[in-house]
Amino acid sequence: MTNLWSHKGAEGMGYAQPAPLLHEDDLPLASGLLRSSLPRWPRLSEPEMVRHYTGLSRKNFGIDTGFYPLGSCTMKHNPRVNEVIAQMPGICDVHPHQPEHHLQGLLSIFHEMQHMLSVCAGMDEVTLQPVAGAQGEFTAVRCIQEYFRHRGEAQRTRIVVPDSAHGTNPASAAMAGFEIVEVPSTTDGRIDLDALEAVLDDTIAAMMITNPNTLGLFETDIAAAAELVHGVGGQMYYDGANFNAIIGRTSPGLMGFDAVHYNLHKTFSQPHGGGGPGSGPIGVKSHLAPFLPGPVVDVRAPRDGEKAVDDGRWYVWREPEHSIGKVQQWHGNAGAVVRCWAFYRRYGRELRTMTEHAVLNANYLRHAIHREAKEAGVDHLFVDGAVTDVAKHEFTLSMLPAKEATGVTAMDIAKGLLDRGYMAPTVYFPLVVPECLMIEPTETEAKSTLDAFAKDFVAVVGADADTLHAAPITTPVRRVDEVYAARNLCVRVPDEEL
Ligand SMILES: Cc1ncc(COP(=O)(O)O)c(C=O)c1O
């Protein structure tokens, strides 16, 4: 019997279960190919390993450990049923190279997702391939570029973005080879139609914008903007990061958009903090559909011998006629798509309720913060980032008055919130709001959480400047010198810690 304390890999290190007894013939590699010495990995017992990783997970902040009001990123609760569904063998144990008749169930999910997303956005066709919002932007911009090449309008080399745009919009357009034309917003934070009209001509390929915009404001002139852009032959591109504010109430298609990306990992849940895996499908009107990346999932009646899934349809892969090519394999992050499908299936036609609660929560929190601040006498230290009364699913606050009065910055407030057990709001975005904090509670937070956050936020705003400059003091990592970290990037674990 193997000695519990001395089997290979854990000699003298502590308790571990016996290693499986392998016969020479069972070894996956010929014995001559096996290494003769152990790699320089930390040699720990199983309980030590478990404690190590559990300890690491507790040092991290996540939506499961606290409120995560990260504006524009829509960090909402991820229902656990999504995980159960995504891990079913018929879903997670299949491979896209299996024949179509093995994959009918999964393809039916993809097809339903394509259809649901088209309907919600008022588009005609959808690809699920891109794996991030930013990649969706790039993909759609490339489709627009190919569309114009096919029409003999290759002179359309410029893309318009408002000055409040998310950085990925101009970055994606520039990656596709476009020149960026920035247009200023009006003083209330919306599109300036005169400024837009002034830059429009037949070199414009598209305008990229999100609605509600990055200030959380609905662009009331969006139809007029679309008319202006279409008037010079350009396309309207909808950045869907703020889709959580409009689903079921209106759609990009109704507003005059030709192409849209969806951040499935924001609007439809799916764990995405820490960089993924995400899913950024795009939807397009029919004139752009031939340029989508392939394959997309299509449907037809089953032929003789084909045993359809319950809905009596047969699902097939299809390559769009003038496809720009692949931007990922098959359906990109298929598991993410399935989780988001599970989320959507629980709402069905009630997705509109989700939107309404998201907008209600944002407006409730905004008013609660103002009310608490007034009572505490600190309301002079910040102002709304936009001159308007109606926010959608997120809102911005400018800490400029605090900076001028006491030297406390938006970053100080954000760090102070970490000490109270919250994830910081988005900071310094959008750039048009000085000392900006952007707050998005999402529909999944309870009123009691919002009330507690409003109180704590106001307590942080009222804290003394020295405390805030030093914050955070309770987190495993204190305030880092970000400039130093960026210039001297080192992500290696020091040898002595191995
Ligand atoms: C307005 C907006 N557009 C685009 C993106 C890019 O999305 P992703 O992070 O999925 O690439 C974001 C992400 O934060 C966003 O907030």
| Within-domain flag for 63 | no
Do 358 and 338 lie in a common domain?
A: no
Do 156 and 15 lie in a common domain?
A: no
Å from CA of 35 to ligand 1 middle: 45
Do 394 and 312 lie in a common domain?
A: no
Tell which atom from ligand 1 comes closest to the C-alpha of 72.
16
Do 184 and 224 lie in a common domain?
A: yes
Domain end among 350, 379, 406: 350
Do 342 and 389 lie in a common domain?
A: no
| Within-domain flag for 285 | yes
Å from CA of 146 to ligand 1 middle: 24
Name 375's Cβ contacts closer than 8 Å, sequence gap at least 6: none
| Within-domain flag for 128 | yes
| Within-domain flag for 58 | no
Atom 15 of ligand 1, nearest CA residue: 241
Please choose, from the candidates 222, 223, 226, the residue with its C-alpha nearest in 3D space to the C-alpha of residue 236.
226
Do 296 and 357 lie in a common domain?
A: no
Domain extent at residue 463: 352-485
| Within-domain flag for 279 | yes
Å from CA of 339 to ligand 1 middle: 19
| Within-domain flag for 104 | yes
Tell which atom from ligand 1 comes closest to the C-alpha of 210.
1
Atom 9 of ligand 1, nearest CA residue: 133
* Helix/strand/coil percentages in the chain, nearest 5: 40, 10, 50
Q: What is the spatial distance between Cα 214 and Cα 217, in angstroms, rounded to a whole number?
A: 7
Tell which atom from ligand 1 comes closest to the C-alpha of 137.
4
| Within-domain flag for 87 | yes
Report the CATH number at residue 224. Answer: 3.40.640.10
| Within-domain flag for 73 | no
Instruction: Check: CB of residue 211 under 8 Å from CB of residue 219.
Output: yes
Do 179 and 300 lie in a common domain?
A: yes
Do 179 and 321 lie in a common domain?
A: yes
Tell which atom from ligand 1 comes closest to the C-alpha of 73.
14
Å from CA of 136 to ligand 1 middle: 10
Do 317 and 364 lie in a common domain?
A: no
Do 294 and 149 lie in a common domain?
A: yes
Do 9 and 147 lie in a common domain?
A: no
List the pLDDT tens digit at each of the 498 positions of the chain.
Answer: 333 443 444 455 667 777 766 676 777 777 788 888 888 877 888 899 999 999 988 888 889 999 999 999 899 999 999 999 999 999 999 988 899 899 999 999 999 999 999 999 999 999 999 999 999 999 999 999 999 999 999 999 999 999 989 999 999 999 999 999 999 999 888 999 999 999 999 999 999 999 999 889 999 999 999 999 999 999 999 999 999 999 999 999 999 999 999 999 999 999 987 666 899 999 999 999 999 999 999 999 999 888 888 888 999 999 999 999 999 988 899 999 999 999 999 998 889 999 999 999 999 999 999 999 999 999 999 999 886 667 899 999 999 999 999 999 999 999 999 999 999 999 999 989 999 999 999 999 999 999 999 999 999 999 999 999 999 999 988 998 888 988 988 887 777 665
Q: How many residues does the chain have?
A: 498
* Number of domains the chain contains: 3
Atom 10 of ligand 1, nearest CA residue: 133
Domain end among 284, 315, 350: 350
Tell which atom from ligand 1 comes closest to the C-alpha of 135.
11
Do 336 and 405 lie in a common domain?
A: no
Question: Residues with Cβ within 6 A of ligand 1?
Answer: 72-73, 132-134, 166, 168, 210, 214, 239, 241, 263, 278, 280
